[in-house]
Amino acid sequence: MSRSLAPLIALFALAVLYALPAIAPRAMVQDLFGILTLLVLAMNWNLLAGFAGLVSVGQQAFVGIGAYAMFAAIILMGLDPLVGVVIGGIAAAIFAIPMAFFAFRLNGAYFAIGTWVVADIARLAISQWKALGGGTGTSLPKGTAKEMAFVDGIKEMLDVSTAAAADALTYWLMLSLAVAMLVASYVFLRSRMGLGLQAIRDNENAARSVGVDPLKLKAAVFLLTAFATGLCGALAFIQITRVTPDAAFSVIDWTAFVIFITVIGGIGTLPGPIVGVVVFYALQRALADYGTIYLIVLGCLGIAVMLFARRGLWGLFTDRTGIDPLPLRHRPPRAATPSHSA
């Protein structure tokens, strides 16, 4: 039953999500945009920490650099915001190279702290960038949204204001980025490199002894996730329209929440971040009136999951039911011939 139904449900959900700007109020589109942003960040962090064993607490560096590169592309170079997003991704990936040289010398907790420190140095350095407002930040020039590619067309199609059309566009792009991340993660993890990563996760020493180069694979994941995180950060700040060093390099917004989401949903599982982000959203809605209580509940839930369900809610679900729509297992090409000795 699940085998034929799951893809149908997923397709239906996806269709509804894509149709949303046409049928739902703008506030909801903006809400979901924020959630999708967290989902993309969580999928990236999950690849890093859950599969490559790189527990980074410095992902805000890539969000911030992506955002600032996008602002620089618009304000200083007069480029289209969407081109700015791509530049944001590339800038983050370039920044990841020296960052990797530094952080990869560190292990475990030191790696985590090292990435955090680098991210904060990046924040301080960006605060010195006077052309982009220094410590107080800057806003997108008036009319940026209106001049953005496709916005006119969307405006006509949906019959909405320019601002709503820009929201719809960024929403669709973020949704597409999330889908692309999911597909790319699945393909990557099932590839030769993904298999090598899973071997490293189990036993790094043995992995080396069968020819896997841990440093190479981890560096590849670090650079690729930096790129995607940079894209995501740049896209997020088109919608926010205003950037400051503190907001763009916020460890709480761009890394802490993301860690909770991934841990609750299921670290090291492909659907984990999706489950986590749904729980996060539900909690946020249910407890919105209670202010910080919602953060406390989130924290407690995160700790409970770490203690009692190492593979999160998704891990619990697959263990109980055996259902796994996105299996990473490699199946043998044929059944084994019956063995006399086994």
Binding site for other proteins (CB under 8 A): 192, 195-196, 198-199, 201-203, 205-213, 329-334, 336-342
Shortest reach from residue 108's CB to other proteins, in Å: 19
Shortest reach from residue 153's CB to other proteins, in Å: 43
Shortest reach from residue 216's CB to other proteins, in Å: 9
Q: What is the DSSP letter of 77?
A: T
- Rounded to 10 degrees, the C-alpha dihedral 116/107/182/323 comes to -130
Apex CA 22: angle with CA 21 and CA 23, to 5°? 95
CA–CA gap between residue 225 and residue 193 (Å, rounded): 15
Shortest reach from residue 194's CB to other proteins, in Å: 10
CA–CA gap between residue 319 and residue 206 (Å, rounded): 27
Shortest reach from residue 312's CB to other proteins, in Å: 15
CA–CA gap between residue 28 and residue 21 (Å, rounded): 9
Which residue, 105 or 192, is less far from other proteins as judged by CB?
192
Which residue, 55 or 94, is less far from other proteins as judged by CB?
55
In DSSP notation, 96-121 reads HHHHHHHHTTS-HHHHHHHHHHHHHH
Q: What is the DSSP letter of 243?
A: E
Which residue, 198 or 241, is less far from other proteins as judged by CB?
198
CA–CA gap between residue 242 and residue 222 (Å, rounded): 28
Which residue, 128 or 191, is less far from other proteins as judged by CB?
191
Q: How far is CA 232 from CA 10, 33, 88, 117, 298, in A?
A: 23, 11, 9, 21, 23
Shortest reach from residue 152's CB to other proteins, in Å: 47
Which residue, 212 or 228, is less far from other proteins as judged by CB?
212
Stated length of the chain: 342
- For residue 177, with 0-12 CB atoms within 10 Å meaning exposed, 13-18 middle and 19 or more buried, which class applies? buried
Which residue, 78 or 338, is less far from other proteins as judged by CB?
338
